[in-house]
């Protein structure tokens, strides 16, 4: 619906609404015509609403759907009011087009009725808003017109920002206005689509103010008075018009040179006009200013019997702009409401809130008004506020829940049950959920200044740790204090050690230490009777053991699967179900892995757990890819990546898996781009674990694309990373066969055999049959490179049969392809038909194209395979792999920054590596390395 935010103005002025704004109006309109979005910003009264309405009227006909909302300060504390303005009239049109969980979430948010499935996970509602916009855009372009963004309730603002950042090419445009001072519009711009044009409205010149006053009918003002109006208003059109109005109504105009006989601030002007109201009308407006969304019906329910006449009087004075399309009572400008409320006596304000505490229909609004009407502590009021906070939490508005929780703490007696700090800690946890980490941290720190109960202190420390996010190294000092507060209480110690386990993994990258911390946390939780923490710790321990190839992984998983279970842990992406799936997948039990992850995915979708859905959908895609169902894996990975981008969860991991799926069944260029995106994210986050996975995906895509030299560079880096992380299970990344094959292609069969031997020893120890088969396939290529064709053919024939029995369809097809290549030009069957049939069954299109090209060429590959990169200089032979790569790039003239980008390492790592190179080679600078290169080429 459309609302008016500025003072009432004559209809005859409509063609002249953008006086003094012609250039920026044209620029903004051109931006909209190009399909972009526009953010108008500037101080109060500068004319943003005027320009916004003019742009909406001028461009709105080009859109199929126009959604409008505008907010006021008084309603900014209530969740989803702006969302209701936007979608209230189109909900019936789009509800059938949304998934059930999203439809339920959106309807619950807009109506406040029905049972919400969100609980503490607001992602379903975020995705519902995004899906709703996409559904509307399917019928034609959509224009969102939003005024006074600074007063949008935090829940609606977060949802709109979430959707705006993810719309991509969807034909949805935003036309918004926000009150700012200086250049503080940046945070609103970050919540807008990437193609948003920020347009600042600056003060009008004196000539523009004069033109504006003339067009509003104030034509008899002397030039000196107009000049004084411009000076006093600072070029603010709203202030200038109000000064002009006051002067026009003043029977004694000021003499030349005298100051204007009016205050110089809008608030003073507002108050002077409020004096023209009757006492009863002023009280009615006070109730309206205290309410979140005042209507005549609400004012009547609050005891204002003559609300119609009194609001009509206010409208005549330009204080109200009643909405023609509905019953809402709107102040003509938010400052009018604020000034009225601020000037009212305290007792009158409390009386207004007391009336609204029973008149308001929304329980959250009733509780808030009850709190503002009450002085001191009151257990009943605190209980009502706590209930309202729980309701806001269930509606998916944790920011509102946090503010209500703080009010509950303020009204709780020091000896109340629950005590005030219980409400504060709940508010802090709600703030964490809402992403307001600074507020959460401040609340927790405040509790820690006085809390003496160990359980409260540990709960507060947990908030501080969670507020740090991935930057756990920034809160290192917290852990000793938390351990001291936990004392010898096993339940509290378990919570601290569980977080310490994550710190060991994320900050230090130490699987062994992380495993020990998790095992210790599980033991402590069992002693303390905290089953949830015990199960989470056991699940963490099992996952760590699985990834590092620890023999105890199956036993730990069985312990974590024992009853009693916790539904939260069972469905959590770090819970026992996920840990069991990883173990099944790495143990070649593909049917069981598929059944396990499919059941988990169905359950989290039923519960609306979007975060776990992102992870589990990726896990299912990985299972299908290993099974050789490349088409299915491609569809799942693309959907997982889209969901990850929409939700902001697991972007790097989803891009990594999507790269593998694209390289196997889709587009190779996209595979390379996704792998580089994943590696870049991991590098930026300092996440060494996922950096190795991303580089393995990049190396695989490079190998499939035929760039064996690049694949060797990427996969050698993976080997170094996993060695440093002490990851020994070759089933974790399954890159060893690719590295060995790439090394053979570049003429390094000796290094290829070394890779195979090391990985085979671990695969034999852990019983990784599919890994052993892939390593044997790579070893067959090594044998062929050494001239042992018969041995290579026998090995590949065996490998193909073993992979078929294990259910690894794509790897089976790769073995058949290698067989056909080796047989080309030799006696016996040379057909590529078998490889083509197997790749076609897998829908492995990139591989199928390779088969077609090889069959068309009809010539055998050189054996041994010719090197595709020049061998390293003799002087570099004593260097480690990473050192050789860095030195080789220096020889090519690459800068440190270019080397870092190509090898996916930091510039500091490049500098440290070069220092080691200088020391080992007995040289002093990059120039000496270049001289080595010159000497090599001179030979």
Of the candidates 921, 924, 896, 925, the one whose C-alpha atom is nearest the C-alpha of residue 911 is 896
- Per DSSP (E only), the strands in 541-697 are none
CB-based contact 25:15 (threshold 8 Å) = no
CB-based contact 482:459 (threshold 8 Å) = no
Helix axis angle for 346-359 and 363-373, nearest 10°, is: 150
For range 441-468, the mean pLDDT? 89
| C-alpha span between 212 and 230 (Å, rounded) | 11
| C-alpha span between 580 and 582 (Å, rounded) | 5
pLDDT tens profile 77-92: 778 888 888 888 888 8
Of the candidates 699, 752, 770, 696, the one whose C-alpha atom is nearest the C-alpha of residue 727 is 696
At 936 the pLDDT is: 46
Phi-psi region of 397 (alpha: psi -120 to 50; beta: other; left: phi over 0): beta
For range 13-38, the mean pLDDT? 78
Phi-psi region of 726 (alpha: psi -120 to 50; beta: other; left: phi over 0): left
In DSSP terms, 147 is beta-bridged to: 70
Angle at 910 between CA 470 and CA 895, to 5 degrees: 120
Quick check: helix, strand or coil at residue 286?
helix
For range 207-217, the mean pLDDT? 83
User: Is pLDDT of 14 > 50?
Assistant: no
| C-alpha span between 600 and 616 (Å, rounded) | 7
Residue 238: both structure tokens together: 């709203």
Render 761-787 in DSSP notation, one character per residue.
HHHHHHT-HHHHHHHHHHHHHHHHHTT
Greater pLDDT, 460 or 121: 460
172-179 and 65-70 strand pairing: unpaired
864 prior amide bond cis, ω within 30: yes
Residue 861 CB: number of other CB atoms within 10 A? 15
Q: Which of 352-361, 775-784, 874-883 has the lowest mean pLDDT?
A: 874-883
Render 541-585 in DSSP notation, one character per residue.
HHHHHHHHT-TTHHHHHHHHTSSSP-HHHHHSTTSHHHHHHHHHH
**How high does pLDDT run on average in the chain?**
82
At 15 the pLDDT is: 37
Q: Please, which pLDDT band fits residue 870 given cuts at 50, 70 and 90?
A: very low
Phi and psi, residue 9, nearest 5°: -135, 150
Of the candidates 90, 87, 77, 89, the one whose C-alpha atom is nearest the C-alpha of residue 109 is 87
| C-alpha span between 629 and 812 (Å, rounded) | 12
At 314 the pLDDT is: 86
Residue 669 CB: number of other CB atoms within 10 A? 11
In DSSP terms, 387 is beta-bridged to: none
Residue 557: both structure tokens together: 């998983």
Work out the burial of residue 480: count CB atoms within 10 Å of its CB; fewer than 13 is exposed, 13-18 middle, 19 or more buried: exposed
Render 578-591 in DSSP notation, one character per residue.
HHHHHHHHHTT-HH
Of the candidates 939, 920, 933, the one whose C-alpha atom is nearest the C-alpha of residue 889 is 933
3-state secondary structure 833-869: HHHHHHHHHHCCHHHHHHHHHHHHHCCCCCCCCCCCC
- Which residues lie closer than 8 Å to 297 by C-beta, 6 or more apart? 327
User: Is pLDDT of 16 > 50?
Assistant: no
At 490 the pLDDT is: 95
| C-alpha span between 770 and 768 (Å, rounded) | 6
CA 761 to chain centre: 41
| C-alpha span between 421 and 621 (Å, rounded) | 45
Greater pLDDT, 218 or 878: 218
CB-based contact 793:816 (threshold 8 Å) = no
pLDDT tens profile 154-187: 888 888 888 888 888 899 999 999 988 655 667 6
| C-alpha span between 895 and 916 (Å, rounded) | 17
pLDDT tens profile 335-349: 577 667 867 888 898
How far is CA 86 from each of CA 26, 70, 139, 614, rounded to the nearest angstrom? 26, 9, 17, 28
CA 533 to chain centre: 27
Work out the burial of residue 155: count CB atoms within 10 Å of its CB; fewer than 13 is exposed, 13-18 middle, 19 or more buried: buried
At 715 the pLDDT is: 95
| C-alpha span between 151 and 72 (Å, rounded) | 5
pLDDT tens profile 873-922: 455 666 766 677 778 777 766 777 767 666 656 666 777 778 778 777 77
For range 658-677, the mean pLDDT? 93
| C-alpha span between 801 and 501 (Å, rounded) | 42
CB-based contact 46:5 (threshold 8 Å) = no
For range 18-43, the mean pLDDT? 87
Q: What DSSP state is assigned to residue 691?
A: H
Q: Which of 143-147, 709-713, 801-805, 820-824 has the lowest mean pLDDT?
A: 820-824
Q: Which of 22-31, 323-332, 400-409, 800-809 has the lowest mean pLDDT?
A: 323-332
Phi and psi, residue 809, nearest 5°: -65, -40
Q: What DSSP state is assigned to residue 253?
A: P
Residue 541: both structure tokens together: 């321990």
| C-alpha span between 4 and 11 (Å, rounded) | 13
| C-alpha span between 339 and 190 (Å, rounded) | 31
Residue 362 CB: number of other CB atoms within 10 A? 16
CB-based contact 830:824 (threshold 8 Å) = yes
At 266 the pLDDT is: 52
Greater pLDDT, 373 or 861: 373
Place of tokens 């020893």: 761
At 925 the pLDDT is: 73
172-179 and 37-42 strand pairing: parallel
At 485 the pLDDT is: 93
User: Is pLDDT of 518 > 90?
Assistant: yes
CB-based contact 290:349 (threshold 8 Å) = yes
At 671 the pLDDT is: 94
Q: Please, which pLDDT band fits residue 751 given cuts at 50, 70 and 90?
A: very high
Q: Please, which pLDDT band fits residue 863 given cuts at 50, 70 and 90?
A: very low
Quick check: helix, strand or coil at residue 174?
strand
For range 418-425, the mean pLDDT? 93
| C-alpha span between 744 and 750 (Å, rounded) | 8
| C-alpha span between 759 and 305 (Å, rounded) | 84
Quick check: helix, strand or coil at residue 873?
coil
**pTM: predicted TM-score of the whole model, two decimal places:** 0.63
Q: Which of 15-24, 362-371, 602-611, 904-913 has the highest mean pLDDT?
A: 362-371
At 612 the pLDDT is: 78
Place of tokens 């998934």: 99
Residue 381: both structure tokens together: 């009021």
Place of tokens 């969807």: 170
At 933 the pLDDT is: 58
């Amino acid at each position: 619906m459309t609302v008016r935010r500025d003072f009432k103005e004559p209809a005859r002025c409509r063609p002249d609404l953008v006086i003094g704004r012609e250039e920026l109006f044209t620029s903004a309109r051109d931006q909209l015509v190009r399909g972009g979005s526009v953010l108008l910003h500037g101080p109060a009264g500068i004319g943003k609403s005027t320009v916004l309405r003019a742009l909406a009227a001028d461009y709105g006909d080009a859109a199929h759907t126009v959604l409008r909302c505008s907010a006021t300060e008084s309603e900014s504390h209530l969740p989803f009011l702006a969302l209701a303005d936007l979608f209230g009239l189109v909900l019936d049109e789009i509800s059938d087009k949304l998934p059930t969980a999203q439809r339920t979430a959106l309807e619950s948010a807009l109506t406040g009725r029905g049972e919400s499935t969100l609980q503490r996970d607001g992602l379903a509602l975020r995705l519902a808003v995004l899906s709703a916009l996409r559904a509307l855009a399917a019928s034609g372009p959509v224009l969102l017109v939003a005024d006074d963004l600074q007063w949008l309730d935090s829940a609606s603002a977060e949802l709109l920002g979430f959707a705006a950042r993810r719309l991509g090419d969807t034909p949805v445009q935003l036309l918004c206005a926000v009150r700012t001072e200086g250049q503080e519009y940046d945070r609103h711009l970050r919540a807008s689509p990437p193609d948003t044009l920020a347009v600042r409205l600056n003060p009008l010149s004196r000539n523009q103010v004069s033109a504006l006053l003339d067009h509003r009918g104030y034509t008899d003002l002397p030039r000196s008075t107009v000049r004084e109006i411009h000076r006093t208003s600072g070029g603010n059109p709203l202030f200038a018009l109000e000064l002009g109005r006051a002067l026009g109504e003043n029977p004694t105009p000021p003499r030349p040179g005298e100051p204007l006989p009016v205050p110089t601030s809008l608030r003073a002007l507002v108050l002077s006009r409020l004096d023209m109201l009757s006492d009863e009308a002023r009280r009615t407006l006070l109730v309206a200013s205290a309410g979140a969304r005042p209507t005549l019906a609400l004012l009547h329910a609050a005891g204002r019997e003559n609300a119609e006449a009194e609001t009509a009087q206010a409208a005549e004075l330009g204080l109200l702009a009643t909405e023609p399309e509905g019953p809402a009572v709107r102040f003509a400008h938010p400052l009018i409401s604020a000034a009225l409320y601020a000037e009212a006596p305290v007792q009158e304000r409390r009386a207004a809130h007391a009336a609204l505490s029973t008149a308001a229909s929304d329980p959250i609004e009733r509780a808030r008004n009850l709190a503002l009407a009450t002085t001191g502590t009151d257990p009943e009021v605190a209980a009502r506020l706590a209930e309202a906070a729980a309701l806001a939490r269930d509606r998916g508005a944790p920011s509102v829940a946090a503010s209500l929780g703080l009010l509950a703490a303020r009204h709780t007696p020091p000896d109340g049950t629950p005590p005030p700090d219980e409400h504060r800690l709940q508010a802090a946890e709600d703030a964490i959920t809402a992403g307001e980490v600074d507020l959460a941290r401040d609340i927790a720190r405040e509790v820690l200044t006085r809390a003496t109960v160990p359980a409260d202190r540990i709960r507060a420390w947990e908030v501080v740790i969670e507020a740090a996010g991935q930057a756990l190294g920034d809160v290192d000092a917290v852990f000793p204090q938390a351990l001291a507060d936990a004392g010898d209480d096993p339940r509290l110690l378990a919570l601290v050690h569980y977080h310490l386990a994550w710190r060991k993994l994320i900050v230090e990258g130490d699987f062994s230490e992380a495993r020990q911390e998790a095992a210790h946390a599980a033991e402590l939780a069992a002693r303390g009777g905290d089953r949830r923490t015990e199960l989470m710790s056991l699940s963490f321990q099992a996952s760590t053991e699985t990834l590092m190839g620890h023999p105890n992984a199956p036993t730990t998983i069985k312990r974590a699967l024992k009853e009693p279970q916790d539904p939260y842990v069972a469905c959590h992406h770090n819970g026992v179900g996920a840990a069991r799936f990883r173990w099944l997948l790495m143990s070649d039990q593909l049917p069981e892995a598929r059944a396990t992850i499919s059941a988990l995915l169905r359950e989290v979708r039923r519960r609306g757990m979007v975060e776990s859905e992102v992870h589990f959908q990726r896990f299912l895609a990985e299972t299908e890819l290993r099974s050789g169902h490349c088409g299915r894996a491609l569809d799942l990975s693309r959907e997982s990546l889209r969901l990850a981008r929409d939700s902001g969860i697991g972007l790097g991991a989803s891009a990594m898996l999507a790269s593998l799926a694209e390289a196997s069944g889709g587009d190779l260029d996209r595979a390379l781009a996704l792998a580089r995106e994943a590696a870049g994210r991991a590098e930026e986050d300092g996440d060494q674990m996922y950096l190795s996975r991303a580089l393995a995906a990049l190396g695989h895509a490079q190998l499939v694309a035929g760039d064996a030299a690049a694949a060797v560079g990427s996969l050698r880096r993976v080997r170094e990373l996993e060695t440093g992380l002490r990851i020994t299970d070759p089933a974790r990344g399954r890159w060893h066969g690719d590295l060995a094959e790439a090394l053979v292609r570049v003429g390094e069969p000796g290094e290829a055999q070394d890779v195979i031997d090391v990985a085979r020893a671990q695969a034999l120890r852990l019983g990784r049959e599919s890994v052993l088969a892939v390593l044997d396939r790579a070893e067959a290529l090594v044998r062929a490179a050494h001239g042992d064709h018969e041995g290579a053919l026998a090995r590949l024939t065996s490998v193909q049969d073993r992979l078929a029995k294990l259910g690894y369809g794509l790897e089976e097809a790769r073995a058949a392809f290698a067989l056909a290549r080796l047989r080309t030009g030799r006696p016996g069957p040379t057909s590529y038909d078998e490889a083509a049939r197997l790749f076609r069954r897998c829908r492995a299109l990139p591989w199928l194209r390779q088969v077609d090209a090889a069959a068309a060429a009809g010539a055998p590959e050189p054996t041994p395979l010719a090197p595709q990169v020049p061998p390293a200089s003799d002087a570099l032979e004593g260097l480690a792999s990473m050192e050789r790569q860095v030195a080789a790039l220096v020889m090519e003239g690459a800068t440190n920054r270019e080397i870092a980008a190509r090898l996916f390492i930091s510039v500091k790592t490049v500098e440290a590596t070069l220092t080691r190179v200088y020391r080992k080679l007995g040289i002093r600078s990059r120039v000496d390395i270049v001289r080595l290169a010159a000497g090599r080429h001179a030979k």
